[in-house]
Amino acid sequence: MNSVGTLLSRLVAATTIVGAAAVVLMIVHITADVFLINLFLSSMPATGAIVANYYMAAIAFLPVALAEKLDQHIAVDVVFNTLPPSVQKWAIQAVRLVVAVATGAAAYGFFLDAVHKFQNNSYVLELDVRVPDWPGYFMLPIGFGLWSLINIYKIVASLTGYDDVLGGKTGSEFG
């Protein structure tokens, strides 16, 4: 279990770093484009297409697993905190199972769509510049798939009594 947790932690770190790098690259790209437009009345080709199909996809979907790893998703604990610890444990596991199935199914669907876009060499046109957009479609199954795997890992860690090397709550600490 320890090696699986370590692998998942490293994958989360890698996708988060790529998402953070996309933020920096997007800022530099847009700043350079604005600079060129204002000084030389010439812009970088396809800036809008690159921002929308590459940077924003990486920023929005690659780091989603980080929130799950750190247990930082939105939570409403009004009723949950009044439940007995054993019920809290099973409620967490039930939610994790639902999320794992939903994000896994979403990842699968997104993957099929990404493969279809790749096979058809999907692209967008911006000012007569052809920009392949299919790589951005692969960001969704990566992010959602990792999110699903983290939930599955936490369920297994909780049910086996294994300490969660990812951090956060597995559910085993409730009783």
The pLDDT assigned to 74 comes to: 77
| pLDDT recorded at residue 170 | 45
Provide block-wise average pLDDT over 10 residues at a time, the chain (175 residues): 86 95 97 94 91 95 91 80 89 94 98 97 90 95 97 91 63 44
**Phi, psi of 126, deg, nearest 5:** -135, 110
pLDDT of residue 172: 46
Q: Is the distance from CB of 131 to CB of 154 less than 8 angstroms?
A: no
Note whether 80 and 69 are within 8 A (CB). no
The pLDDT score that the predictor gives to residue 64 is 92
- Give the global pTM: 0.86
Give one DSSP letter per residue of the chain, joined into a string.
-HHHHHHHHHHHHHHHHHHHHHHHHHHHHHHHHHHHHHHHS---TTHHHHIIIIIHHHHHHTTHHHHHHTT-S----TTGGGS-HHHHHHHHHHHHHHHHHHHHHHHHHHHHHHHHHHHTT-EEEETTEEEE-HHHHTHHHHHHHHHHHHHHHHHHHHHHT---TT-S--SGGG-
Bridge partner list, 130: 125
